[in-house]
Amino acid sequence: MRLDRLLANLGVCSRSECRNLLRAGRIGVNGAVRARPDTDIPENAEITLDGKRLDTRLTRHLMLYKPAGILTAAEDARQKTVMDLLPPMYRHLGCMPVGRLDKDTTGLLLLTTDGEMNHRLLSPKRHVDKVYLAHVDGALDENDVKAVAVGIDLGDFVSLPAKLEIVSPDTGRLTLREGKFHQVKRMFAALGKPVTQLHRCAFGPLRLDEALLPGAFRELTGEETAALYRAADMEK
């Protein structure tokens, strides 16, 4: 990638500002001062600004605590999206949500720049667990647990066998291995107990970091990233 484009994508400076930094001798690549914005930067090159090394990783994985009222989309002309909660750098790097949460659903949302991993984690063949805490209008009972374990006929498809744990009479923890449009809400509605509040606690090997506040995010640790690649059957 060109040096000026890389620095712009990382949010260090604009491409025009990059030229000024280069003329001033403030940018180095692998220990040498560079003066050309079209310098082709090899992978894992060491880039410095005023002698300080920059984080030039192009592959990023994020955990976001999605708040209610925000769309899970790359962009929208009228409404705020999860990408608006992140610094512009992540959009420039091509970071995208893995699947989606409804506008009023809160909790763990994974975002990544790795398109192949994104695709694999969402593939029905992978059976990646998603865990939701659902508050419902009504009282859950063992008949609901059994119905979820068998699979619920939703008209256009029958849900795969899933696990429902009753946390309290009006709250259940649902673990399922698919994620079709409005599926969780449709399942509880089919049981006659519509969802009043929905929160995703976990996605595959990841659990929502309790230190995150709604709207906040952090990059995944090395261990978390490795676990995700294993869940996607990808070696890294």
pLDDT digits (tens, 9 = 90+) for 104-151: 999 999 999 999 999 999 987 888 999 999 999 999 999 999 999 999
List, in order, residues 6 or more apart from 56 with CB less than 8 Å away: 6, 10, 41, 45, 47
Topology match between the domains 61-124+206-231 and 130-203: yes
Residue 152, pLDDT score: 94
Spans of all domains in the chain:
3-53, 61-124+206-231, 130-203
Q: Indicate which residues carry an active-site annotation.
A: 102
Residue 184, pLDDT score: 95
Q: Which CATH class is domain 3-53?
A: alpha beta
pTM here? 0.88
**DSSP characters for 87-107?**
-HHHHHTT-EESS---TT-EE
Residue 23, pLDDT score: 86
Residue 197, pLDDT score: 97
Low-confidence stretches of the chain (pLDDT beneath 50): none
CATH-assigned architecture of domain 61-124+206-231: 2-Layer Sandwich (3.30)
List, in order, residues 6 or more apart from 113 with CB less than 8 Å away: 58, 59, 60, 61, 90, 93, 94, 95, 96
CATH 3.30.70.1560 is the classification of domain 130-203: yes
Residue 236, pLDDT score: 58
